Amino acid sequence: MRTMVRTTVIAALVPMLVALLVGVAAPASAHEERESHFPPGDGSVPVHRDIGEAADVLVVCKPDSAERIQQISDPELRSFNQQLLGRCEFRHLQAAVDAVSEQGTNIYLLPGHYREQPSWDPACGNDYDDGVAGYRLMTTCGEVLNLVTIAGDDPDDPDISCDNALCDLQIEGTGDRPKDVRFTGGFRENGDWVKHNGLKADRADGFYLANVTFELFRENAVYVHETDGYTVDDVVARKNDLYGLLTFASDHGFISDCETYFNGDSGVYPGSASDVNSQNTNTGPLQRWAVEITGCDTHHNALGFSGTAGNSVYFHDNDVHHNGAGYVTDSVVGDHPGMPQDHAWLEDNRIYSNNVNYYPNVQDGGPCTKKDPADRGHQDGVVCPAFPVPVGTGVMIAGGNRNFVTSNEIYDNWRYGVMLFWAPAGIRGEYDPAKQQDNPHHNAFTHNQFGYQPGGAVLPNGIDVWWDDAGTGNCWDDNLAAPGKEITHNATDPRGLPDCPTGSMWPVGNVVKSAQLLPCSQYNRESNPDPAGCDWMDSPSRPSSSESAAGTVNTMSMPVGASGIGVLLAAAAGLVVWRRRVST
């Protein structure tokens, strides 16, 4: 009988929820992305190709490359560079890309500082109105937005598959380390950004990028879009106003050994990764994923990792630390294929000390409030956070399904170790009543170590698990706390966090918990950078290692009625602010 009553209540509330959603204001955005589609999925992850295996070889160098080569410590690598120097025909990477005539070409970048000045003011850009950039523009005048553009598809054919000479293109820096080959966007004399993006690979199946640094762009350092098969290896992406490494609507990706820091949104962002597990009813581990991210060090960003519709992401053996928040994935922004988010697999990561508060930079005369980007200090590591997140959080899942979070070390995040909550479908523009509770379901958190370092030192999270009680099938099993401690959480049920495999049973969350999100929904880094009543932008206090070992944190409980639905909607609306992905 109780189940029937609850079902009836939900059925009655959903139409009200949908009506309320209609009144939610549209989110602010810099540039909306063009309509994007997943590639067909018949590609593969490209592997490194030696010079003797390349169909053609092109070499790019700078006037001081010879001097820089002399400083290479490895004699074999130094000799290789000297041989390549004799074959150098180009001073700019875009010129070499434009000269590619065969699929499977290798482009080698000799040590140097690359500014790509011919791309700054292209004559073809005179008619661009700063609006949404379609794919055809990428083929005719990608320089209006990008320092370097690689566009592999014929815009006149009906598909999005790579079919020109730029397929299977490999671009590789030849220095000792990524910083030896550095691409800088920077600023114009008027103080504005030179470019939106550093390098964009658009429908460039088989793209391989290695051993380079990209810095100082208005949006993204490296951007991979609608591409089936890409590798980004040993790349540094830093000091960008939004993202370090951004991929969107792409498949068969591999991002390895990257370093990202001083980015205003996130260091690594695989948004709308191909939804290859949309019909998979298992939570994890996965047999097939859209992108694998491993060996990366993402630190001192507003967010270490983020992904709206970050589907089928295999994220393992990474270090995520000293960001404002660590790993964030969500289902709150519309026009992203693959909603709601599903099937991320986080394993063997070290997610710790994500307590760096960058919000004062956008408040009360902080450096990010200066009119000209050149005066804000980006080049010195100033971060201007674009999105509201609770500083001090390790992992945040805002409305995802079947995420498998296992065997991670999550410690010293002073607010929350893990955060899980509901995001109504109407927030992303889907008003079908049947979809409003389509998340968060069947998320599993197992075998994680909370609150202590690998060596045993106790470094607690503020609360190990913050959950709004929403969703069915969410479960926690075999997670470990420091000796003498218990996993701390705010579950309303006195029995604690639900065990696997059964998990939670009630789809709707606790309105009082959701109400805590409401004041922060008003954040906007230009117009409202310090919302009244919001403590997310405050630095949380460091928890004491000697605090109580109790496994629960007191929380109020309230049934979700009509007013509760309104609170939930307003809170979720806040997550949209600044989260609509920029387009180039």
Tens of pLDDT, residue by residue over 490-548, are 999 888 999 999 999 988 888 888 777 778 878 999 999 999 999 999 999 999 876 54
- The answer, yes or no, to whether residue 171 has pLDDT greater than 70, is yes
Output the pLDDT for position 520.
80
Q: In the predicted model, what is the mean pLDDT of residues 71-95?
A: 98
Q: How far apart are CA 178 and CA 393, in angstroms?
A: 30
485 φ, ψ to 5°? -115, 170
Structural domain including 52 reads 34-250
Tell me the pLDDT band of 88, cut-offs 50, 70 and 90.
Answer: very high
Q: In the predicted model, what is the mean pLDDT of residues 181-186?
A: 99
Residue where a domain stops, chosen among 222, 250, 278: 250
* Closest listed residue to residue 268, CA positions, set 241, 306, 228: 306
Output the pLDDT for position 127.
73
- The answer, yes or no, to whether residue 297 has pLDDT greater than 70, is yes
358 or 428, which is more confident: 358
228 and 103 together in one domain: yes
- If one counts the domains in the chain, the total is 2
475 or 575, which is more confident: 475
Which long-range contacts (C-beta less than 8 Å, at least 24 apart) are formed by 359-368? 359/324, 359/385, 359/391, 359/529, 359/530, 359/537, 361/385, 362/525, 362/526, 362/529, 363/529, 363/530, 363/537, 364/530, 368/525
Residue where a domain stops, chosen among 250, 276, 297: 250
Output the pLDDT for position 19.
39
575 and 434 together in one domain: yes
151 and 269 together in one domain: no
92 and 157 together in one domain: yes
Q: How far apart are CA 139 and CA 130, in angstroms?
A: 17
pTM exceeding 0.85: yes
What are the pLDDT digits (tens) for 302-335?
Answer: 999 999 999 999 999 999 999 999 999 999 888 8
What are the pLDDT digits (tens) for 27-44?
Answer: 333 336 799 999 999 999
Count of alpha carbons within 13 angstroms of residue 360, beta-carbon side? 4
Residue where a domain stops, chosen among 201, 218, 250: 250
Q: How far apart are CA 582 and CA 33, in angstroms?
A: 6
390 and 536 together in one domain: yes
- The answer, yes or no, to whether residue 143 has pLDDT greater than 70, is yes
Output the pLDDT for position 147.
99
118 and 237 together in one domain: yes
- The answer, yes or no, to whether residue 6 has pLDDT greater than 80, is no
Beta strand spans in 287-370 (E): 291-294, 297-299, 303-308, 313-316, 319-321, 325-330, 345-347, 350-352
What are the pLDDT digits (tens) for 190-238?
Answer: 999 999 999 999 999 999 999 999 999 999 999 999 999 999 999 999 9
Tell me the pLDDT band of 136, cut-offs 50, 70 and 90.
Answer: very high
What are the pLDDT digits (tens) for 367-425?
Answer: 999 999 999 999 999 999 999 999 999 999 999 999 999 999 999 999 999 999 998 88
408 and 468 together in one domain: yes
Token output for 407: 């065997």
Tell me the pLDDT band of 134, cut-offs 50, 70 and 90.
Answer: very high
H/E segment holding residue 77: helix 75-85
Beta strand spans in 81-169 (E): 105-109, 112-114, 146-151
Output the pLDDT for position 546.
67
200 and 124 together in one domain: yes
**Strand arrangement of the beta sheet that strand 213-215 belongs to:** 112-114, 181-184, 213-215, 236-238, 259-261, 297-299, 319-321, 350-352, 409-411, 449-450, 480-481
Output the pLDDT for position 181.
99
426 and 539 together in one domain: yes
143 and 282 together in one domain: no
Output the pLDDT for position 159.
97
- The answer, yes or no, to whether residue 577 has pLDDT greater than 50, is no
Amino acid found at 364: D
237 and 357 together in one domain: no
Q: Where on the phi/psi map is residue 533: left (φ > 0), alpha (ψ -120 to 50), or beta? A: left
Mean pLDDT for the chain? 89
- The answer, yes or no, to whether residue 559 has pLDDT greater than 60, is no
398 and 494 together in one domain: yes
* Closest listed residue to residue 352, CA positions, set 497, 447, 454: 454
Residues 192, 372: contact at Cβ < 8 Å? Answer: yes
What is the share, in percent, of the chain residues with pLDDT greater than 90?
79
Output the pLDDT for position 334.
84
Q: In the predicted model, what is the mean pLDDT of residues 102-111?
A: 99
